[in-house]
Amino acid sequence: MADLSAFPVSRLFPAQNPDVIQLYSLATPNGVKVSIALEELGLPYEVHKIDISTDIQKHPDFVALNPNGRIPAIVDPDGPDGKPIGLFESGAILIYLAEKTGKLLPKDPALRYETLCWLMWQMGGVGPMFGQFGHFYKYAADKVANNPYPTERYRNETRRLLDILEERLANRQFLVNEEYTIADIAIFPWVRSLTTGYGAAEALNLTDFPKTEAWAKRLSERPAAARGLNVPPRA
Ligand SMILES: N[C@@H](CCC(=O)N[C@@H](CS)C(=O)NCC(=O)O)C(=O)O
């Protein structure tokens, strides 16, 4: 049985089965990227629900795994050279899982970099900008009731990014090389969240982005994605 005692997080959230990947997450657009990938890859894992409303993600035992104090994070008992490894940042975790299994990331070097470009575009653009839009549009609406500037700024930026996706998906089923990759997995949960999380379909005029909407719907209906989108279970 794997020894995870080097990871303080395992004191906070003891592993039932330390021989499988330990996932510390919540069903948010960043969290589900990892559970969707794990489900798609068929890797066994154990999920620990991190209720971020309690700030448990700022506990020193959690911060020892993710210095940024956020979800998602994982511990893989079977990392490089068979040794346990901890990882944080959803983009890095997706690359790790893809390289561990040889799936969801093209082997051809040019296509691999193309996939990483779109993954980084999500990490640096879509996540932060859509997230700020959701913050001001939904969660802090009362705080900016007299000042439309922040919501407008992030609404415009969200639409600008959606325009780029719409153009990219104009004659493609997937973002890169007509295959499902970690770039798709990183981005479609964020597109979905504009409707399911923020209820902002009208505010963003999402009907202007039919290809993007259809792509996100199609991918979220994949059986592995449907399972991964509800990890840890919301109820
Ligand atoms: N760039 C990070 C972002 C992670 C992130 O922002 N996670 C949010 C939930 S979606 C979180 O843990 N928030 C809790 C907090 O800010 O304390 C990643 O992709 O992993």
**Longest pairwise C-alpha distance within the chain:** 58
Structural domains of the chain ordered from first start: 9-104 (3.40.30.10), 109-225 (1.20.1050.10)
Instruction: Tell whether the model's pLDDT for residue 235 goes beyond 80.
Output: no
Which CA distances in Å does 215 have to 59, 205, 222?
38, 17, 11
pLDDT tens digits, one per residue of 192-227: 999 999 999 999 999 999 999 999 999 999 999 999
pLDDT tens digits, one per residue of 158-198: 999 999 999 999 999 999 999 999 999 999 999 999 999 99
Residue 179 DSSP one-character state = B
- Residue 63 Cβ inside 6 Å of ligand 1? The answer reads no
Q: 57 C-alpha vs ligand 1 centroid, how far in Å?
A: 10
Q: List the residue whose alpha carbon is closest to atom 1 of ligand 1.
A: 89
Distance separating alpha carbons of residues 168 and 206, to the nearest angstrom = 16
Mean residue pLDDT of the chain comes to 98
Closest CA to 88 of 141, 174, 24, 145: 24
Best substitution site from 52, 70, 132 to test ligand 1's pocket, by max atoms within 8 Å of Cβ? 70
Helix, strand and coil content of the chain, in percent to the nearest 5, comes to 55, 10, 35
- Model's pTM, two decimal places? 0.98
Q: If pLDDT is split at 50, 70 and 90, which confidence band does 26 have?
A: very high
pLDDT tens digits, one per residue of 42-97: 999 999 999 999 999 999 999 999 999 999 999 999 999 999 999 999 999 999 99
Q: 106 C-alpha vs ligand 1 centroid, how far in Å?
A: 27
- Residue 66 Cβ inside 6 Å of ligand 1? The answer reads no
